[in-house]
């Protein structure tokens, strides 16, 4: 296995990803036009936590979905909460 040095951390896995880094998934409703909201959330999360996460993925959905999950655990859901990017990033921070 090749060891790749990086200024902020070392990658150790064969696919080049750190196995202990967090993955964030933002599922959004395509028919509802929530792509812009999902991208805004993604940008905010990457700006604040980019070096602490492995991936921030956008996943297409329907039926009004807009959720944010950290390592497969939903930390924010539009069905339960107001859309507030600051609150969403606070919840992501708490889950990291």
pLDDT at 10: 45
Residue 21's pLDDT is 78
Question: Rounded to whole angstroms, how far apart are CA atoms 22 and 27?
Answer: 16
Find the domain containing 84 and state its range: 20-95
Tally of domains within the chain = 1
Residue 72 included in any domain: yes
Chain segment 16-47, per-residue pLDDT in tens: 544 567 999 999 999 999 999 999 999 999 99
- pTM for this model (two decimals): 0.79
CA atoms within 13 Å, Cβ hemisphere of 25: 10
In a domain, 11, yes or no: no
pLDDT tens digits for 71-94? 999 999 999 999 999 999 999 999
Q: Please compute the mean of the pLDDT values over residues 53-65 and round it to a whole number.
A: 97
- CATH, residue 65: 3.40.30.10
Q: Is residue 80 part of a domain?
A: yes
Main-chain dihedrals φ then ψ at residue 50, nearest 5 degrees: -50, -40
């Amino acid at each position: 296995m090749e060891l790749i040095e990086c200024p902020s951390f070392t990658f150790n896995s064969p696919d080049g990803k750190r196995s202990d880094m967090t993955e964030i998934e933002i599922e959004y409703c395509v028919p509802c036009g929530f792509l812009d909201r999902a991208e805004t959330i993604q940008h905010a999360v990457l700006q604040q936590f980019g070096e602490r996460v492995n991936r921030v993925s956008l996943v297409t959905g329907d039926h009004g979905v807009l959720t944010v999950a950290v390592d497969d655990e939903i930390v924010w859901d539009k069905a339960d909460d107001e859309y507030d990017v600051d609150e969403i990033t606070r919840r992501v921070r708490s889950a990291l």
